Amino acid sequence: MLFSRHTYVERRKQLRELVGNGLILLFGNNDSPMNYPANAYKFRQDSSFLYFFAQHREGLVGVIDADSGKETLVGNEIDIDDIIWYGSVESVGDLAAQAGVENHAPMAKLQDMVSEAIKAGRRVHYLPQYRHDIKIQLADILGTHPNSLEPSLDLINAVVKLRSVKSAEEIEEIERACEIGYQMHTTAMRLCRPGVTEQYISGVISGIAASYGCITSFQSIVSMHGEVMHGYPSPRPLEAGRLLLCDAGAETNENYCSDHTRTTPISGKFTQKQKEIYSIVSDCHDLALDVAKPGVRYYDVHMDVCRLMTDRLKELGLMRGDTEAAVAAGAHALFLPHGLGHMMGMDVHDMEGLGQIHVGYDEETRPSTQFGTNALRMGRRLQEGFVVTDEPGIYFIPALIDLWRTNGTNAEFLNFDKIEEYKDFGGIRIEDDVLITKDGCRFLGENRVPYHIDDVEQFLADRD
Amino acid sequence: MLFSRHTYVERRKQLRELVGNGLILLFGNNDSPMNYPANAYKFRQDSSFLYFFAQHREGLVGVIDADSGKETLVGNEIDIDDIIWYGSVESVGDLAAQAGVENHAPMAKLQDMVSEAIKAGRRVHYLPQYRHDIKIQLADILGTHPNSLEPSLDLINAVVKLRSVKSAEEIEEIERACEIGYQMHTTAMRLCRPGVTEQYISGVISGIAASYGCITSFQSIVSMHGEVMHGYPSPRPLEAGRLLLCDAGAETNENYCSDHTRTTPISGKFTQKQKEIYSIVSDCHDLALDVAKPGVRYYDVHMDVCRLMTDRLKELGLMRGDTEAAVAAGAHALFLPHGLGHMMGMDVHDMEGLGQIHVGYDEETRPSTQFGTNALRMGRRLQEGFVVTDEPGIYFIPALIDLWRTNGTNAEFLNFDKIEEYKDFGGIRIEDDVLITKDGCRFLGENRVPYHIDDVEQFLADRD
């Protein structure tokens, strides 16, 4: 258990109060089969279950009666075969007691608990389910189809409210993840040379993540084709002159995440053309840090970044026309088809499984439907204790350039002839994790992976 | 694609002939969500789909009409958003053509294809499903419950028949996996010192696996508690005097596996007591290599090992009485509660998801129900081209010792007073991958990770 029993007792008490009434079910995860039932991926507990019930074992469900306050940890006990194969472990009662949960019950009782609540006309609250085994289990309990589950908006809102604001203890754990991330990214930069494969670099940094914590917080993006948003590493060797985009994060043993991106010149130095684009991205990155603070909408920080990017792309002759009008039309999204950032915490896109609209938006700030801005995962007003990513990027995506050019999309703001010259450029992204503080914000992680042009080139020159 | 188009065409032709009639469905895998829908574990294709349809993309289903011979690759095409996020990829038609499949269709057509077959009174063959998303999809298509699927025994038997015998090309790929395994295990041995954590070693070797191929072929077992069969690595530091058991394998990018175990003295040298037990295990390991050949039942190789182990444990005063009677009673299983080995190939326990009884047993050789021997995954007669593991072990499992002593289980063959002295010993396992050749067998992998006592100690002395 990461925090004190009191922390978990208090979190559940707040959850009960926010939800108000009914029976709350929080499903922990089971092992997830990779290529046959007994060969599972590395176990990953559900973040909300972990947040409220503290335990990492598979096969558990937390039940909270919001009316009576009764709390039960549901799970089956182990037998001698489990001991031989998995070692002696604590009983479900012990696990419950550690987390300050008074009751425990075997899994067969879950059906009864739910049936009784339904019979009494009470609401049964559960979150959106992303694991299909749990979907089947829950649908069977409720007598419905796995695709017909109806998650509770009250429960979603309550969980989002609590998990969005990180405590000082949680920040410490995220800082730990950032330190592992620092080791990963500086190692990737040291290894980044012509002839080394993307897969090799990705493999080594995933080994660093696993050496000090869990597996990476998401599938690392390590690619010479930075213009592919999710460019997974391939066995192809790095080519001199190109850029390597590396987007990777660590997870601590307690499942708090980091998420950083660096873009490194494979030859050790940026070309003039690369410098011109890179410096726009690094300036956008710094701008966000200047602007983000409590009370400011992250949507507006995103838009500030889009305006700066448009101004600078105009200077290079890639865009043209009025900046405000270009950004309003979404012309910049040809280069930046994603958002400036997302919430981060126990999930690298924190709570994304609960529905982005509930996490990143609210009644005041509604999501955009415009291409590019519609991919902004976090738009609402920032609060002290939020952790968000700051990850601007500029990409030259040949298929998208062709499509827009053919359709004349935003043609008044885009100099397609000039853009053609960048079609083999690739893409650049720079990303750090940002804590919203009382009156501003700061990067998380004690050590900063270099990202300003001079620092990057110095680091690469010094590595030998 | 790993092999030629002809190879896949031929495999499907043989499959059609073996199954005889009906509609065969082979489901490829989808992305498997880790902690929210869009954050998936590393994609792992289904081995049987890969064996017959060659392609690594998620979201595909292979359909073979065993009567008409018509073959169809089912899957949805990608759009501009997919290109932005995942890059330009080949069309489903291209993928089909590469594998020599004549037809392709969108996923929405799958229901029609199955419904027509059922309406015509034809059989629909599918394998046991281990991914719950596929269970839901298939159950919906068939109009049944995900837990009520009825896999086709004819299809299972046909797939097992084909996949059991490895071609020369497949052996080459397994040898590649063994070479990665060699790097992993020699690295683990180099790192194995007091103060280093299990998790660190496990992380580094998983990084090696990922650098040269996929993630590890299963969750690595790296533990000072070798007596726990699946002792997953913890952040605890290694202790001088104890043994570190490391059971880990690699997977090539084409998903062929390796699986090796070594047990290393953390202090660099074995104690006398450790040597006595270790030498029994290494002699058992070598014995299997002497005995295994085409026509011999692996059940009998297992039993030969059990007899040798019992003889040697009698010499140490841990067992007593008549060896044949002790083995017949299963007394040795206190020390060896698992089987000598399993089939290996594209799954590390090859085809285990199709049902161990169909893979490791047949009408002639039936599985045992006795504790210990009932965990033998492979019992039937060996054939040229089979790949099996040879992995004897001796473990001192405190909870099992207490249970047997209390119950008087096999008391006439076990010297419990002496066994008590070993309760903090831990466990030893040695494992290599074995190819059954024309008239015998051989270890796979060009380089051998040292495992004889002198070789291990020499390796550890030389590493500095």
- What's residue A87's pLDDT? 83
Residue B378 and residue B318 in one domain = yes
Sorted by sequence, the CB contacts under 8 Å of residue B290 that are 6+ apart come out as: none
Of A108, A138, A164, the one marking the end of a domain is A164
Residue A174 and residue A147 in one domain = no
Closest residue in A to B46 (Cα) is A35
> Which residues on neighbouring strands pair with residue B24, listed in sequence order?
B64, B125
Pairing relationship of beta strands A387-390 and A260-265 according to DSSP bridges: unpaired
**Taking 80 as the threshold, does the pLDDT of residue A63 lie above it?**
yes
CB-based contact B207 A205, cutoff 8 Å: yes
Sign of CA dihedral A85, B275, B304, B332: negative
Tokens of B66: 């065993």
pLDDT tens across the length of chain B (464 residues): 889 999 999 999 999 999 999 999 999 999 999 999 999 999 999 999 999 999 999 999 999 999 999 999 999 998 888 888 888 778 999 999 999 999 999 999 999 999 999 999 999 999 999 999 999 999 999 999 999 999 999 999 999 999 999 999 999 999 999 999 999 999 999 999 999 999 999 999 999 999 999 889 999 999 999 999 888 899 999 999 999 999 999 999 999 999 999 999 999 999 999 999 999 999 999 999 999 999 999 999 999 999 999 999 999 999 999 999 999 999 999 999 999 999 999 999 999 999 999 999 999 999 999 999 999 999 999 999 999 999 999 999 999 999 999 999 999 999 999 999 999 999 999 999 999 999 999 999 999 999 999 999 999 999 97
**Taking 80 as the threshold, does the pLDDT of residue A26 lie above it?**
yes
CB-based contact B206 A207, cutoff 8 Å: yes
Residue A146 and residue A200 in one domain = no
Residues within 8 A of A (CB atoms), B 84-113 only? 84-88
* Residues in chain A closer than 8 A to B136 (CB atoms): 132, 135-136, 146-147
Sorted by sequence, the CB contacts under 8 Å of residue B201 that are 6+ apart come out as: B188, B191, B192, B222, B233, B244, B246
Q: Quickly state the pLDDT bin for A231 (edges 50, 70, 90).
A: confident
**Taking 90 as the threshold, does the pLDDT of residue A89 lie above it?**
no
Span A192-215, mean pLDDT? 97
* Residues in chain A closer than 8 A to B228 (CB atoms): 84-87
* Residue in A38, A47, A207 closest to B35 by CB: A47
Distance CA B390, CA B111 (A): 44
- What's residue B114's pLDDT? 98
DSSP character for B291? H
Cβ pair B349, B130 in contact under 8 A? no
Cβ pair A302, A332 in contact under 8 A? no
CB-based contact B38 A349, cutoff 8 Å: yes
| B235 lies within 8 A of chain A by CB | yes
* Residue in B84, B135, B399 closest to A397 by CB: B84
Distance in Å, alpha carbon of A280 to nearest chain B alpha carbon: 21
Tokens of A203: 């493999």
Residues within 8 A of B (CB atoms), A 145-174 only? 146-147
Of B145, B164, B183, the one marking the end of a domain is B164
- What's residue B247's pLDDT? 98
Tokens of A295: 């009370």
CB-based contact A35 B47, cutoff 8 Å: yes
* Residues in chain B closer than 8 A to A205 (CB atoms): 207
**In terms of C-beta density within 10 A (0-12 exposed, 13-18 middle, 19 or more buried), how is residue A222 classed?**
buried
Residue A253 and residue A382 in one domain = yes
CB-based contact A228 B86, cutoff 8 Å: yes
Q: Which of A35, A49, A80, A130 to mutate against chain B (most B CBs within 10 Å)?
A: A35
Residue A302 and residue A209 in one domain = yes
Cβ pair B136, A136 in contact under 8 A? yes
| A44 lies within 8 A of chain B by CB | yes
**In terms of C-beta density within 10 A (0-12 exposed, 13-18 middle, 19 or more buried), how is residue B145 classed?**
middle
How many structural domains does chain B have? 2
- ipTM entry: 0.96
**Taking 80 as the threshold, does the pLDDT of residue A302 lie above it?**
yes
Q: Which of A34, A148, A214, A347 to mutate against chain B (most B CBs within 10 Å)?
A: A34
- What's residue B78's pLDDT? 86
Tokens of B320: 């007593």
Q: Measure the CA dihedral B457/B458/B462/B463, to 10°.
A: -40
Residue A197 and residue A136 in one domain = no
Closest residue in A to B348 (Cα) is A39
**Taking 90 as the threshold, does the pLDDT of residue A232 lie above it?**
no
Residue B409 and residue B422 in one domain = yes
Q: Which of B26, B211, B409 to mutate against chain A (most A CBs within 10 Å)?
A: B211
Helix boundaries (H) for B120-227: 132-142, 153-164, 168-191, 198-212
* Residues in chain A closer than 8 A to B130 (CB atoms): 33, 35-37
CB-based contact B147 A131, cutoff 8 Å: no
Closest residue in A to B49 (Cα) is A35
- What's residue A69's pLDDT? 97
Helix boundaries (H) for B59-152: 80-86, 92-98, 108-119, 132-142
> For residue B195, which phi and psi values (nearest 5 degrees)?
95, -30
- What's residue B464's pLDDT? 75
CB-based contact A235 B218, cutoff 8 Å: no
Residue B67 and residue B149 in one domain = yes
Q: For residue B184, what is the domain's CATH number?
A: 3.90.230.10
Distance in Å, alpha carbon of A66 to nearest chain B alpha carbon: 25
pLDDT tens digits along A112-126: 999 999 999 999 999
Residue A129 and residue A234 in one domain = no
* Residues in chain B closer than 8 A to A29 (CB atoms): 35
- What's residue A82's pLDDT? 85
* Residue in B33, B207, B230 closest to A208 by CB: B207
User: What type of residue is B458?
Assistant: Q
* Residues in chain A closer than 8 A to B253 (CB atoms): 199, 235
Q: Which helix (DSSP H) or strand (DSSP E) does residue A72 occupy?
A: strand A71-74
Distance CA A298, CA A376 (A): 9
Residue A189 and residue A154 in one domain = no
* Residues in chain A closer than 8 A to B399 (CB atoms): 80, 83-84, 88
- What's residue A81's pLDDT? 85
CB-based contact A219 B337, cutoff 8 Å: no
Q: For residue B25, what is the domain's CATH number?
A: 3.40.350.10
* Domain interval for residue B83: 5-164
Distance CA A370, CA A229 (A): 18
Pairing relationship of beta strands A103-105 and A71-74 according to DSSP bridges: parallel
Ramachandran class of A317: left when φ > 0, alpha when ψ lies in -120 to 50, beta otherwise: left
* Residues in chain A closer than 8 A to B29 (CB atoms): 35
Mean predicted lDDT score pLDDT of chain A: 97
Pairing relationship of beta strands A427-429 and A260-265 according to DSSP bridges: unpaired
CB-based contact A36 B397, cutoff 8 Å: no
Distance in Å, alpha carbon of A136 to nearest chain B alpha carbon: 8
Residue B54 and residue B114 in one domain = yes
Cβ pair A269, A454 in contact under 8 A? no
Sorted by sequence, the CB contacts under 8 Å of residue B447 that are 6+ apart come out as: B179, B182
Share of chain A above pLDDT 90, in %: 95
Contact pairs from chain A to chain B, CB under 8 Å: 185
* Residue in B36, B147, B225 closest to A130 by CB: B36
Distance CA A248, CA A219 (A): 7
Neighbouring CB atoms inside 10 A of B343's CB total 25
Closest residue in B to A84 (Cα) is B228
Q: Quickly state the pLDDT bin for A153 (edges 50, 70, 90).
A: very high
CB-based contact B203 A209, cutoff 8 Å: yes
- What's residue A189's pLDDT? 98
Neighbouring CB atoms inside 10 A of A205's CB total 30
DSSP character for B77? P
* Residue in A206, A212, A349 closest to B206 by CB: A206
CB-based contact A32 B34, cutoff 8 Å: yes
Span A368-377, mean pLDDT? 95
| A9 lies within 8 A of chain B by CB | no
Cβ pair A197, A238 in contact under 8 A? yes
Distance CA A16, CA B312 (A): 62
The residue with tokens 């005097």 is B241
Residue A449 and residue A323 in one domain = yes
Of A149, A164, A179, the one marking the end of a domain is A164
